[in-house]
Structure 1
Amino acid sequence: MRVLVIDPDSARAALVAEGLAGVEPLEVRHAGAYDEAEAAAFAPDVVVVAAESPDRDTIDSLREASLSNPRPVVMFVDRSEPGFAEEAVRAGVAAYVVAGLTPGRVRDVLAVAISRFQLMHQLRKDLEKAKADLASRKTIERAKALLMKERGLEEGAAYKLLRKLSMDTGRPLGAVAADLLAFAGVLKGDQS
């Protein structure tokens, strides 16, 4: 396991490393502040941010990093201000632990955070796929309606024609429907 520990206090960072003792294989790297370029080069399995209290710069950096390179993040803070836990979770932090950094807890907290991250990552992928499928379905419905109107086809015949075009071209049905709508727009003089 590759662990990136972000903490300006090397003694507190050592507690994280101590809590991971016995994990094989293990590579722990320590940095005083979060730097996405360094994190990307190291490619950690999990990022542990330990601090006296969270700061907005770190949370903003984590938010930006989670958009381009999502990975499990755990925050151990000695104290927290109201609203910081919610901000951290929205920034992609999988576990936010206040006043709980002890070597005996590190491994379990990381395991839960990694599991939670994987679950949330899968849910996001499923949601994106569902949205794409819905958009494709709407496009197919619009293309069927166009064929029904322009060619005087029944719904089943319009769908069959779209499917045939899809199979003949080896392209997904949604892509064929989108092309049909785009061509119809061009022929009608639509600029959108």
Structure 2
Amino acid sequence: MKIKIVVAEDEPITRMDICEILISYGYDVVGEASNGIQAVELCRRYKPDLVLMDIKMPKLNGIQAANLIVKEGLVDSVIMVTAYSGKEFIEEVKEIGVIGYIVKPIDEQKLIPQIEIAIAKSKEIKRIKEEFIRAKEQVSEVKIIHKAKEMYMEKYSLTEEEAYKKIRKLSMDKQCSILETCSELLKYYDEIKFKGK
């Protein structure tokens, strides 16, 4: 599957040159923007893998547009393209989560390696985020199971192992997961406690 790219650059000749380089390397240029507002709209429409964003653009500058795009999660990675290499610009783009920074004039020797690195980094970041979400879910599941065991231990004066065996048997009888059984038990227990008040 081709990598989808949006190119945001207010100078038509520079934009055309960038698009030609990208297309010649097999990338899919899904949209071209001449200002920051267009760039954001194109990202909302196409959800590209990457955006090449000029910093100095009319209506909405590239930093503001990139900030919106990153906050809305519209794209995996953003590379800033600029004629300015000043420290203030670099510091500003670092804060919004931009992955790359290319100083003009642009040629394929500068552009293609930056794109490949940005795509690889964004995949790695995505994988880490997914692992973190899974880990959080697992911790949450363990807490539910542990709470249900404690409730059974307290209610029926059981050891932890005995409580777990009872819950596991209940799960098998109902043909559902231990997590589902524990969630139902806790819900039922909370309802009983609430009614008893």
TM-score range, shorter chain: 0.7 to 0.9
CA distance in structure 2 between the aligned counterparts of 1:70 and 1:42, rounded to whole angstroms: 9
CA distance in structure 2 between the aligned counterparts of 1:75 and 1:169, rounded to whole angstroms: 56
Once the two structures are superposed, the pairs formed by residues 55-134 of structure 1 within 5 Å of their partners are 55-66=62-73, 69-79=74-84, 80=86, 81=88, 83-89=91-97, 93=98, 95-99=99-103, 102-104=106-108, 105-134=110-139
- CA pair 55-146 structure 1, distance change in 2 beyond 3 A: same
User: Residue 12 of structure 1 aligns with which residue?
Assistant: 14
User: Residue 43 of structure 2 aligns with which residue?
Assistant: 39
User: Residue 56 of structure 2 aligns with which residue?
Assistant: 52
1:26 lines up with 2:31 in the alignment: no
Alpha-carbon contact 1:88-1:96 (below 8 Å) kept: no
1:118 offset after TM fit, Å?
A: 0.4
TM-score (norm 2): 0.79
User: Residue 163 of structure 1 aligns with which residue?
Assistant: 168
Aligned pair count reads: 184
Q: Which blocks of at least 5 consecutive residues in structure 1 are unaligned?
A: none
- The structure whose RCO (Cα within 8 Å, separation 6+) is larger is 1
CA distance in structure 1 between the aligned counterparts of 2:30 and 2:40, rounded to whole angstroms: 16
Identical residues among aligned pairs (%): 20
1:179 to 166, 180, 184: 184
CA distance in structure 2 between the aligned counterparts of 1:38 and 1:124, rounded to whole angstroms: 25
Q: Which blocks of at least 5 consecutive residues in structure 2 are unaligned?
A: none
Instruction: Read off the aligned partner of 1:189 and give its amino acid letter.
Output: F
Instruction: Read off the aligned partner of 2:182 and give its amino acid letter.
Output: A
